[in-house]
Amino acid sequence: MSLPSVVIPFVKASACGNDFLLIDSLSVEGALAPANMAALTRRLCDRHQGVGADGVEWMYSHAAADVEIRLINADGSPAEISGNGTRCVAAYICAERRKEKLTIQTGAGLKTCVLMGRSESEYEFEVEMGEAAVGAELAVKLGASEVRGIPVSMGSPHCVVFVPKFSENWRDEAAKLQRNSEFKWGVNVELVVIDGKHDVEARFFERGVGETQSSGTGSCASAVAAMAMGKAESPVRVHAPGGTQTVRQEKNLVFLRGTARLVCRGEFFLS
């Protein structure tokens, strides 16, 4: 029995339960046209027929950065950036090249990652996420009801909704909000409960994926919105089912701190 002629090597990594496949673009050069990248990503991310992940970070060489990454979500749609995905790539580059400070070119600009600590295959990084753009509160009609949310851009679009507690059907509510015509390019939805001046609890419903255990840009958006509304103060610990990340503001810049773990290395057979 012979193996398929095309084999795609990958590394799987997870940041607070938000998992990604990291693939060197050279491994698919000549095997796939760029137009087929979305379809391949869907196959790779399928949790029953593929490897399983929330998205693929395709890695490219870059003249002015340690690496350039292009994120494609599990459904094949492109995204500007994932804070968690960027941290996963940083962990991989750190392990491969033993660099403790590195730059990553993303669809939302150049990001600087600084290693804060390491324990075996788990790496803790603080990433300079750039400036956040916080908009005025929106009142969005969802059928007979109305949802009020804070639009935040972290290079990717977010809508932060503060709630007293998470309802049993919060996923359905988030999906309806995400599909609303108010958001022409789609939106990542965060439901946030305030737990104190420096703590919030969040649930994430992301474009192209749905519910995720965590979100880096979503954690930033949640914290920044809470600070802008006077509900929290920097630094803010954002607690989610996948773990806790810390967001701080320094002047106009937002910094995200959290862990990323290298899970495994493998090969995907393209048949």
Kindly report the number of other CB atoms within 10 A of residue 76's CB atom.
Answer: 17
* Residues 243, 162: Cα–Cα separation, whole Å: 20
Confidence at 243, pLDDT banded by 50, 70, 90: very high
Q: Which domain holds residue 72?
A: 6-126+259-270
Mean pLDDT across 103-107: 98
Q: What integer pLDDT is reported at residue 185 of this predicted model?
A: 87
pTM: 0.94
Same domain, yes or no, for 186 and 91? no
Q: What is the mean pLDDT of residues 146-164?
A: 97
Phi, psi of 80 (to 5 degrees): -70, -45
pLDDT band at 30 (very low <50, low <70, confident <90, very high): low
Regarding whether 153 and 113 lie in a shared domain, the answer is no
Q: Say yes or no: 263 and 226 in one domain.
A: no
Mean pLDDT of the chain: 94
Q: How far apart are CA 200 and CA 192, in angstroms?
A: 7
Q: How far apart are CA 262 and CA 271, in angstroms?
A: 27
In this structure, are residues 79 and 55 in contact, taking their beta carbons and an 8 Å threshold? Answer: yes
| Per-residue confidence band for 218, with pLDDT thresholds at 50, 70 and 90 | very high
Interatomic CA distance for residues 107 and 125, integer angstroms: 19
The pLDDT of residue 39 is above 80: yes
Same domain? For 88 and 164 the reply is no
> Are 67 and 117 part of one and the same domain?
yes
* % of residues, the chain, pLDDT over 90: 89
CA distance 115 to 92: 12
* Residue 60 bridge partners (DSSP): 68
Q: Is the pLDDT of residue 37 over 90?
A: no
Burial class (CB in 10 A: 0-12, 13-18, 19+), 138: middle
State the Rg of the chain over Cα: 18
Task: Give the pLDDT confidence score for residue 271 in this predicted structure.
Answer: 74
Whether residue 251 sits in one domain with residue 185: yes
Indicate if the pLDDT at residue 31 is higher than 60: no
Selection from 135, 169, 129 nearest residue 151 by Cα: 135
pLDDT value at residue 3: 67
Does 242 lie in the same domain as 179?
Answer: yes
Average pLDDT over residues 101-128: 97
Based on the domain organization, do 141 and 97 belong to the same domain?
no
Q: What sections of the chain are H helices per DSSP?
A: 37-45, 83-97, 170-179, 216-228
- pLDDT given at position 105: 98
* Mean pLDDT within 244-268: 97
Same structural domain for residues 77 and 180? no
For residues 29-42, average pLDDT? 75
Verify that 245 and 266 share a domain, yes or no.
Answer: no
> Mean per-residue pLDDT for 200-215?
97
Predicted confidence band of residue 35 (pLDDT cuts 50, 70, 90): low
Residue matched to tokens 């802008």: 228
Instruction: Phi first, then psi: give them for residue 45, nearest 5 degrees.
Output: -85, -10
CB 208 within 8 A of CB 81: no
Structural domain includes residue 1: no
Residue 32 sits in the same domain as residue 80 = yes
Kindly write down the DSSP assignment for every residue of 150-189, as one continuous string: EEEESSSEEEEEE-SS--TTHHHHHHHHHHSTT-TT--EE
| Other Cβ atoms within 10 Å of 93 Cβ, number | 20
Q: Indicate whether 156 belongs to any domain.
A: yes
pLDDT tens digits for 47-92? 999 999 999 999 999 999 999 999 999 999 999 999 999 999 999 9
Closest CA to 236 of 188, 190, 173: 190
Q: With 60 as the cut, is the pLDDT of residue 34 above it?
A: no
Total tally of structural domains belonging to the chain: 2
Structural element, H or E, at residue 82 = none
CATH code of the domain containing 164: 3.10.310.10
What does the pLDDT average to over 133-142?
94
**Cα dihedral 88/196/141/151 (nearest 10):** -50
Spatial contact of 208 and 75, defined as CB atoms under 8 Å apart: yes
Give yes or no: residues 151 and 249 share one domain: yes
Band the pLDDT of 32: cuts 50, 70, 90: low
pLDDT at 150 over 70: yes
pLDDT in tens, 165-185: 999 999 999 999 999 999 988
Strands 210-212 and 236-240 turn out to be unpaired
Answer yes or no: is 50 within a domain: yes
At 136 the pLDDT is: 96
